[in-house]
Structure formats: C-alpha cells, structure tokens
Structure 1
Amino acid sequence: MALKVIGTGLGRTGTMSLKLALEQLGFGPCHHMVEVFMHPESVPLWVEAGRGRPDWDKLFDGYQAMVDHPGCRFWRELMDYYPDAKLIHTVRDPNKWFDSTQATIFAPGGGAVNPPEPMKDFFGMVMEEYQGRQHEREYMVEHFQRHTDDVLATVPPERLLVFEAAQGWAPLCAFLGVPVPETPYPRENSTSDFQARVRTNAMDPEKMKAEIDAMRSH
C-alpha cells in the first residue's frame, strides 16, 4: 500500500487531530508518533532510516497516510518515493508552537529529552535536527520558519496544502477531493491531553491503542 498523504508539519502543529481527520476521511490508517509506541517493533527500522538505510515499504506497510514525527523528518525522501502522494504542511504561530513543545514533547525529563535505553537511538534520530537547542526560543522559532520555507520552496504547489487546524474541514476536503463530514473537525492532543497521557503512562502500547480508539470514536 502506497502513502496517499504525507504530513510535513512538525509535531505540536495539530498533527494528532489531522491523523484522526484523515482516518475519518478514508485515508487511514495514518502513521503518527503514537504508532511507534503501539508498534515498538518498528523502532529499529526507524533507526535504520535515520542512518540512511530506509525501508519505507516495511515502515508504512498498511498505512495510507503519515503525519508528525518521525516521518516528517523524511518528507523530502517520502515525496519522491511516493510521487502520487499529496502533502499537507500543518502550521501554527511559531512562538505558540515553541511554548507547546516545552510543555509536552520537549519537557525536561520527558521521553524525547531523556529517553529510556531501548529508545535512545530512536529519539537521538528524532532530535538530531534540533542540534540540542530545543529549549532555545530564538533558535527554535527560526527552525520552525525555515522548515516551512523549505517545504514551500520544494513541494510543487499542486501537491501541497498549507493547513491550520482552525481552518477545519473545508480546505482539507477540497484538497483531497472528498466530501465535508457533518461531524466537527477533530480537536485532540492539547497540551493538557498530552500531559495527562504522560502522567498515566499511556505510552504503554495497550493503553495507547485504547486511547487512540477512544479518540476515533468521538
């Protein structure tokens, strides 16, 4: 199964909501960082991808779409490997994005910053692009904007949608050529949601699967 949608946006730009939206629109399953925790057997494959030896067919076996880390790091390679895929670049205010990362994915003592031994190589690959400066506002805001500029300069306009979650269904459905659902656009994985997940150890595969299933049923 080839990817039909590739998300180029960084984590904390509404990627979980987009994952659920794409699945509701028929582009699922959609890969997201949570899928790595639900399928830890994929970790060595991601580490190999970071070393320049990707096996995209294995990593995305059964998936129709991809958003969030770790896949967004490889957006250039993926847009070439899946030439018929459409790309969605999620954005938000860069300073608000930085604040969100500091309270969630890059929180001191969190899994990405201080990963357990089995995940060290994986998170080392994920964090590499931030050069150890993930807590520096000026650097991270510039990185965020540079990432967007690179996507805009590289992806053919006809393949790209720049999208904010607040825009809701209309631009997303128009871009993908599907009807607009009657249900509200998903609003999931807020800062408080993320922090609650960490507190309850929901990175456990079974707990994570149950939580994602609950989100899908909303």
Structure 2
Amino acid sequence: MEKSQTNGRPQREMKVLAMGLPRTGSASLAEALEILGFDGVYHGVKAIDSPEDWKIFDRAADATFPVLPGYTGKSFTQEEWNELYAPYEATTDMASVFGTHLVKAYPDAKVVLTIRDFDKWFKSMDENVLQQLWSPAANFSVNVIEPILGSRAGPASRKMMLGLFQAKNVDEARSKAREAYDRHHREIQECVPADQLLLYRMDVEFPRVNEAAALKAKIAEKVKRDMFSAALTLAPG
C-alpha cells in the first residue's frame, strides 16, 4: 500500500525481505514477487544505472561491517534505509548482504530465505561476482574511471562482499566462504520469528531468469558508458 509521496517518489511499506544470498535465484524471485502484485521490487540490477543508490550502499556497508576500514559502528535505521527502499514493497539480491541488520530495520516484513547447495552457490558466486569485482578491468574502473565520474559502484560492491565474508581481501573472502554461508543462514533463522519466515531450499533446480548473463551484459554496457564519459571529462576543451 502506498502511504504517501516525498519528492515525487511513492512511499511504500516494506513487506518482503528476500534474504537468500546473491546467486540464489534472486532475479527469478523478484519477478515472482512482481507477478504476485507487490508494488516495487528492488533487485541489484536496478542499482547499475542508479549512482545515488551506490552512495547509499557505500554508507550502509561502512555502517554495518566491522572488517571495513571505514566502519562507523552505527547501523542504518529504517529512516536511512528508506532513502533507498521507500518506493519498494520488496527487496532481493544485495539486500541479503546486510542480513539481520535489514531485518531489524523492518521488523514487520515477511522474510524469504532461499538456500542453495553450498558448492553450487560458491562456484556461481566466485565466477559471477568475486572474479568480476576483482578483475583487471574492474581494478582499472575502480582506480581510474570511477574517481573521474564520482561513482561509488565498484567500491561499494567490494565493501559489501568483504563485509559479507568478514574478509579484508578477495582471497580471504574465498577462504571464509563456507563460514559466511553458514553464519548468514543461521543468523537469519535465529532472528526472524517462525511465522514471518519462509524457508526455501533449492534442492531441485527450476527454470530461472538468466541472472549471470543479464548482469554481465548490464555491467559491460555500464563500463563502456563510464569509459566514454571519463574520456569526455578528460578531453581538452
């Protein structure tokens, strides 16, 4: 239900938090929630073309994860999360990285926890997220292109992944993957009342939106745009 409007943006009540980790069919779940009639479903793909969203994720990561150098120790409040999520009734994908912090910010929301076999999940996570975020191209973008454009997409994404794995670098993240996987699922189940939690185990694969291909295509498109914009910025007048 739409509660009000602020600055032209609808203000809605958060009803569903999908806390399955990234690479657990979150795009398909987002599509299903939209089909079920939820107004506004946030998935990480939306952030690719939303620079302001990345700035919020960047601040949220520093507020949430002690392992980060910029850790503030001040968890985001519902009001702060509403800077991002006010127009949405449900959120998936990257939201899960913030786990119980987001659950506590929206205590009345229902929680869907999708659990995928660890080996399948980590293979997908490594190939489609970690390797992409710490590739030579990503390093160039984070260190050269994004500072020119004032973008926080790369740094924020890296912060969220290191925070999730409680790691200081990508190699440590890989070594702590199983620990992070178990911790996330345990903490969500301990935090959420049974009558608000829907637990789904992906024991049987089902047709899903091709998240990996769609995400890579969106990222490639954004990198090209960013490089062009950076070239224009640096070009002599």
2:155 to 117, 121, 128: 121
| TM-score normalised by the chain length of structure 2 | 0.67
Letter in 2 for 1:36: A
Give the RMSD, CA atoms, in angstroms: 3.0
Aligned equivalent of 1:180: none
% identity of equivalent residues: 29
| C-alpha deviation, 1:50, in angstroms | 2.2
- For structure 1, the residue ranges without an aligned partner over 5 or more in a row are 169-184, 206-218
Q: Is the 8 A contact 2:45 2:215 kept in 1?
A: no
Residues 84, 94 of structure 1: CA spacing in aligned structure 2 closer, same or farther, 3 A cutoff? same
CA distance in 1, matches of 2:185, 2:136: 26
Structure 2 counterpart of 1:155: 192
Residue 38 of structure 1 corresponds to which residue in structure 2? 49
For the residues of structure 2 that align with 1:135 and 1:64, how far apart are their CA atoms?
Answer: 35
Higher fraction of strand: 2
Do residues 62 (structure 1) and 87 (structure 2) align? Answer: yes
Q: Which amino acid aligns with 1:124?
A: R
Shift in CA distance, 166/83, structure 1 to aligned 2, threshold 3 Å: same
Letter in 2 for 1:68: D
Structure 1 CA distance for aligned equivalents of residues 85 and 107 of structure 2: 15
Q: Contact 2:117–2:202 (CA<8 Å) still a contact in 1?
A: no
Write the deviation string for residues 83-125 of structure 1: whole angstroms up to 9, x where unpaired: 2210011111001111111221112544996453323431232
Relative to structure 1, the CA distance from residue 28 to residue 134 in structure 2 (aligned partners, 3 Å threshold; closer, same or farther) is farther
Structure 1 residue 138, shift from structure 2 partner? 5.2
User: Are 2:221 and 1:187 equivalent residues in the alignment?
Assistant: no
Indicate the residue corresponding to 1:201 in structure 2.
221
Superposed, 1:31-180 pairs within 5 Å as 31-52=42-63, 54=76, 55-69=80-94, 71-108=95-132, 109-110=134-135, 114=139, 116=142, 117=146, 118-119=151-152, 120-129=154-163, 130=165, 131=167, 132-133=169-170, 139-164=176-201
What per-residue deviation string (whole Å, max 9, x for no partner) do you get for residues 157-202 of structure 1? 111111245679xxxxxxxxxxxxxxxx86113545544555x526
Structure 1 length normalisation: TM-score? 0.72
Aligned residues: 187
SS across alignment from 1:11? coil
Q: Which moved more, 1:24-33 or 1:74-83?
A: 74-83
Bigger mean CA offset, 98-107 vs 131-140: 131-140
Structure 1 match to 2:231:
none
Q: Which structure is larger by alpha-carbon Rg, 1 or 2? A: 2
Unmatched runs of 5 consecutive residues or more in structure 2: 1-11, 64-73, 226-237
Q: Separation in 1 of the partners of 2:176 and 2:52?
A: 33
Call closer, same or farther: CA 1:154–1:204 in 2, change over 3 Å. farther
Code of the aligned partner of 1:201: E
Q: Does structure 1 retain, via aligned residues, the 8 Å contact 2:114–2:201?
A: yes
Deviates more, 1:96-105 or 1:106-115: 106-115
Greater share of helix = 2
Sort the Cα spacing of 1:134 and 1:14 in 2 relative to 1 into closer, same or farther, 3 A. Answer: farther
Q: 1:136 to 1:57 in 2, by over 3 A?
A: closer
